[in-house]
Amino acid sequence: MTEIDPITLAVLAGRMEQIADEMDATLFRSAFNPIIAEAHDASHGLYHATTGDTLVQGKSGLPIFVGVMAFAVKAVIEKAAENGDLADGDIYIFNDAHMGGTHLSDMRLVRPYFRDGQLFCYLASVGHWHDVGGAVPGNYNPVATDAFQEAFILPPVRIVRAGEVQTDIIDILMRNTRLPQSAQGDLNGQLGALDLGVKRLDELLDSYGAETIRSALDALGHRAEALMRSELEALPDGRWEAEDFLDNDGITDAPLPIKVALEIEGDRMMLDFDGTAPVTAGPVNIALPTAVATAYVAIKHIFPVLPANAGVMRPIEVRVPEGSLLAAEFPAPVGGYTETILRMIDVIFSAFAQVSPERAVANAYGTINALSIAGKRANGAPWVMFSFYGGGHGGSVESDGLNHGNAPISTATIPPLEILEAAYPVMFRQWALRPDSAGPGQHRGGLGAIYEIELLEEQAEAFLFGERGRYAPRGIAGGGDADLNVFTYEQSDGWHTPPFTSKMRGMKLARGQSVRLETPGGGGYGPPGDRDAAAVARDVALGYLTPQHADVVYGTAWQEIAR
């Protein structure tokens, strides 16, 4: 193995990250659907030739895909071994979430990269397609009881065989979507990103040689492991626990516990989720690959210096009990995976706040509020507006939480209302910060948001998959909890709320009627009594706090400054 000096290693790490970043940018600029093009719900990376482990991931893609895509590549490695004829120019495609994690809307493309006739590594692309069949447009079916009710399921198959596109596979894909033009555009964008990745890898290996790059990849894994061990050694040994709840599974209206025990011993950590609810009938389950990847995302937030490399996880054991909703097996429904992984991150943050509160962040708003509105235009053409919505992030030792941010599972952005209004027959009556929604604290949480969306077409149906309607985002280190999630929809006799609070299918809307989301803020950090009165007065002046709420949670000292 070639020895690499630190400067060369840093240069090569930057070059390889740039390859993944450029693949990200290629898809973002060419995708047809705004979930990828605007929200950046996609990711690209380089993966180990034999293990599938993550070597490099783009900085613009979703962090949850770092660990998940390793499982996706492993699934392709196993499939290729079964076939026994992996060739240069092959590209596998699939969306089976129980093999590759997340949910069925995420379409994965995996391509082997050969150098001098030998397999060198894998390139992979994943993107959230707008619609892949199933019972609900946009695929977030809040009452699904198996995966078949969520979307069309595709196991790993070759969409390109030795460079030749398999048009019959494309025909099957396009027949199983309500929006084939969007799907075709996204597919072409992903294929283009993989082509670019191959080109850039060729250039890199031409410059440095395969042996040097292979050594660099091994060195990056060892460095990531060493960094993680160093971070853990600086922490006290011990065991800490945290528990939180999902509102329900959409089928049975009962809370579902998510529990973790965090143990640190020397340079090792264990995350044990024993005590978590069993597999549910409804779609809040996640597959084991998703659970492991979520643990990585939480760890990356707590230790931001760590790279996007599988070596980070070598000193960490993630124990997920069999039969739990964190280790669901096919065909259990997993469409609402986002809500469950957000709760996993919340409990890891809450447990770690007991270890080292200065490193932790209070709970963020904890739901993407997957809202789909679908119908037909006057000319009969179908339309599906699927999007996710923001809320407040948790306070920390350094600052107040971010107002109206995206969920901590991603670096995605919330699509602008101008884009949504231009693409779909809707109008936003309101898009604003939600006063009094932040958890109080020495450093308060960020504010949630208010979205009110009016239908401009003759009729449509709305579907909501959310959370935090009954269990508020929590503060840490003495900070207070944020406000709950509130969803209402308009009918001829006034406004209504879903029976299950945060989930509902098939809300009929007529022209001029609206749906309204009031999203949670983030939890607070530190005792509210320690908050500077000037900061409270500023929040009141900005409209973040009403005077009445400020008096209740912070006292009246701010009034002297306001005068």
The 10s digit of each residue's pLDDT in 101-121 is 889 999 999 999 999 999 999
- In sequence order, what are the beta bridge partners of 464? 371, 504
Asked if 124 and 90 touch (Cβ cutoff 8 Å), the reply is: no
The 10s digit of each residue's pLDDT in 495-532 is 999 999 999 998 999 999 999 999 999 999 999 999 99
Side chain identity, residue 16: M
- Please name the residues in contact with 103: beta carbons below 8 A apart, sequence gap of 6 or more: 97, 139, 150, 151, 334, 335, 336, 337, 338
Question: Rounded distance, CA 19 to CA 58, Å?
Answer: 8
pLDDT at 121: 96
Q: Per residue in 49-87, is it b (16+ CB within 10 Å) or e — as a string?
A: beebbbbbbbebbbbbbbbbbbbbbbbbbebbeeeeebe
The 10s digit of each residue's pLDDT in 450-509 is 999 999 999 999 999 999 999 999 999 999 999 999 999 999 999 999 999 999 998 999
Is residue 175's pLDDT more than 90?
yes
Side chain identity, residue 420: L
Is residue 412's pLDDT more than 80?
no
Side chain identity, residue 403: N
Question: Rounded distance, CA 219 to CA 369, Å?
Answer: 41
- The residue ranking higher by pLDDT, 138 or 148, is 148
What average pLDDT does range 366-389 have in this prediction?
Answer: 92
Res. 410 pLDDT band, cuts 50 70 90: low
Mean pLDDT of all residues belonging to the chain: 94
Side chain identity, residue 397: V
Question: Rounded distance, CA 228 to CA 235, Å?
Answer: 11
pLDDT at 108: 96
Is residue 1's pLDDT more than 70?
no
Helix axes 337-355, 288-302, angle to 10 degrees: 40
Is residue 3's pLDDT more than 80?
no
What average pLDDT does range 225-241 have in this prediction?
Answer: 96
Res. 560 pLDDT band, cuts 50 70 90: confident
Q: 42-46, 185-189, 474-478, 559-563 — which is least confidently predicted?
A: 559-563
The 10s digit of each residue's pLDDT in 269-279 is 999 999 999 99
Is residue 68's pLDDT more than 90?
no
Asked if 315 and 229 touch (Cβ cutoff 8 Å), the reply is: yes
Chain center to CA of 14: 25
Is residue 556's pLDDT more than 70?
yes
Q: What is the pTM of this model?
A: 0.93
Q: Is 452 exposed, middle or buried (0-12, 13-18, 19+ CB in 10 A)?
A: middle
Is residue 421's pLDDT more than 80?
yes
Q: Strands, DSSP E only, in 408-563?
A: 426-433, 449-455, 459-465, 486-491, 494-496, 503-510, 514-518
Res. 251 pLDDT band, cuts 50 70 90: very high
Asked if 344 and 291 touch (Cβ cutoff 8 Å), the reply is: yes
pLDDT at 4: 83
What average pLDDT does range 546-553 have in this prediction?
Answer: 96
Q: Strands, DSSP E only, in 289-335?
A: 316-319
Q: Is 142 exposed, middle or buried (0-12, 13-18, 19+ CB in 10 A)?
A: buried
pLDDT at 483: 98
pLDDT at 411: 65
- The residue ranking higher by pLDDT, 388 or 525, is 525
Token digits of residue 255: 């809370």
Domain boundaries of the chain, sorted by first residue: 6-226, 361-531
Asked if 228 and 17 touch (Cβ cutoff 8 Å), the reply is: no
